Amino acid sequence: DDPAELRRIICALNEIAEKIEILFPVHPRTRQMMQELADIQPAPGLRLTDPVGYLEFLGLQRNALFVITDSGGIQEETTFLGVPCLTVRENTERPVTVSIGSNLLVGRDMERLKKEAAAILAGQAKRGGIPPLWDGKAGERIAGILA
């Protein structure tokens, strides 16, 4: 919700979008803030879209070369999907996505974001693995305990 931070992120995304097309589903509140930042416009390679549904978004993540986010849930989804994730946060409540998964915390350092995106584009992505117990069998294990 910080216009200065949004400006820095859009500038970094614009630079990354010079090398690869970026699809950015924009929350209405973020879109409103972007409209108020009249001095900065999305680059041609930065495609802004309306928000998409959950299943469509999962499909976009599955087919992405990498994902940039500040969302905890997306950190988990990309780890499960094996898609490199650059998280624009200083910490995460989902540390297993960093220690085992495909997530990398880049913090608020936009130079690091651009550097890590370039590394992914050069074939040096952090792949990670799926954490233990993320096998889709939680219900079976719970039922076994309750039985």
* pLDDT(1) > 90: no
- What domains appear along the chain, each with residue ranges and CATH number? 3-146 (3.40.50.2000)
- The pLDDT of residue 40 is 84
Cβ atoms of 66 and 85 within 8 Å: the answer is: yes
Give how far Cα 58 sits from Cα of 9, 53, 79, 81, Å. Answer: 23, 9, 12, 9
Cα dihedral 57, 63, 64, 70 sign? positive
* pLDDT(100) > 80: yes
Cβ-based neighbour number of residue 104 at 10 Å? 21
* pLDDT(12) > 90: yes
Q: Find where tokens 């859009």 sit.
A: 10
Model pTM score: 0.90
Residue-wise pLDDT for 16-48, tens only, equals 999 999 999 999 999 999 888 878 889 999 999
Residue-wise pLDDT for 49-77, tens only, equals 999 999 999 999 999 999 999 999 999 99
